[in-house]
Amino acid sequence: MPTGDLSKMKTRYAKPIEYSLLLGEESIDMNKLLGQEISLRYTGTIHCVSCGNVTKKSFGQGFCYKCFMNSPMNAECIVRPELCEAHLGKGRDAAWEEKNHNQPHIVYLAFTDCTKVGVTRVDQIPTRWIDQGAWKAIILAETPYRQIAGQIEVAMKEYYKDKTNWRSMLKNEVDEALDPVAEKEEALEMFPPEFEEFYTDNNTIYEFEYPVLQFPTKVNSINLEKINEVEGRLVGIKGQYLLLSNNRVLNIRNHSGLEVEIMY
């Protein structure tokens, strides 16, 4: 049976979104398992997603404590991009910052359970929105590096949320009458004038369809570190969640680094 450390599922922008889970050397086509009985068993071993060392406890999304404190993948500017200094050659790891943060970024509106504002690197389009479980998205601004995008986001957070209610997202509580272009035009009225040169007229609407047979009516989150094994019928995949029978959901990304066996 396939065995390996959990990590964020790979996605391909299609209708519906195509998901694959890499365990060890095997890439599992998760869409093909839709409607089937599956089982995931946690072996009790955790490998740090940064250094690869075995750790008794994971911090963040799969870090050992040392990497949680020191890895550039967990720096404060990951969640607060307005603090990023990559364009100044600064950061926990200057080479990593140059490659990942001193690069073109966008500010966007994503439509999950609500209208939310966010920041991501240009080459993460549309992956970022898929991982959030957005059903539509549109770009507000394009910037040369991360800090400016973060500063725009801070200004826009006075009017928009920057986090998704994941339970509502998984239940597919969306406003189907929402018009992304109209939302963007409204956002322009609140857009910070000192950054208006970065505003974009690109009104491409990104739309997402997920492989889901049945959305949960209530949400029961699974923690593999507590129950070790889960089995059930795979009824859907949305964001980075597996939707299982009996309204159970498993956040794959939150279990990064845990070694598991999968049976299907």
Rounded (10°) CA dihedral 119, 142, 100, 170: 30
Bridge partners (DSSP) of residue 118 are 108
Low-confidence ranges of the chain (pLDDT < 70): none
φ and ψ of 43, to 5 deg: -80, -15
Question: pTM higher than 0.85, yes or no?
Answer: yes
- Rg of the chain (C-alpha set): 19
Residue written as tokens 């279990």?
A: 255
Length of the chain: 264
Query: Residue 169: its pLDDT value, please?
Result: 97
Query: Residue 176: its pLDDT value, please?
Result: 86
Residue written as tokens 């040369």?
A: 144
Q: What HEC string does the chain produce? A: CCEEECCCCEEECCCCCEEEEEECCEEEEHHHHCCCEEEEEEEEEEECCCCCCECCCCECCCECHHHHHHCHHHCHHHHCHHHCCHHHCCCCCHHHHHHHCCCCEEEEEEECCCEEEEEEEHHHCCHHHHHHCCCEEEEEEEECCHHHHHHHHHHHCCCCECCCCHHHHHCCCCCCCCCHHHHHHHHHCCCCHHHHHHECCCCCCEECCCCECCCCCCCEECCHHHHCEEEEEEEEEECCEEEECCCEEEECHHHCCEEEEEEC
Whole-angstrom Cα distance, residue 139 to residue 147? 17
Query: Residue 252: its pLDDT value, please?
Result: 98
Query: Residue 131: its pLDDT value, please?
Result: 97
Q: Which of 84, 191, 190, 204 is nearest to 144 (CA)?
A: 84
Query: Residue 177: its pLDDT value, please?
Result: 87
Q: Tens digit of pLDDT for each residue in 195-247?
A: 999 999 999 999 999 999 999 999 999 999 999 999 999 999 999 999 999 99
Pairing of strands 18-23, 10-12: antiparallel
Query: Residue 66: its pLDDT value, please?
Result: 97
Query: Residue 192: its pLDDT value, please?
Result: 96
Query: Residue 193: its pLDDT value, please?
Result: 97
Whole-angstrom Cα distance, residue 208 to residue 75? 30
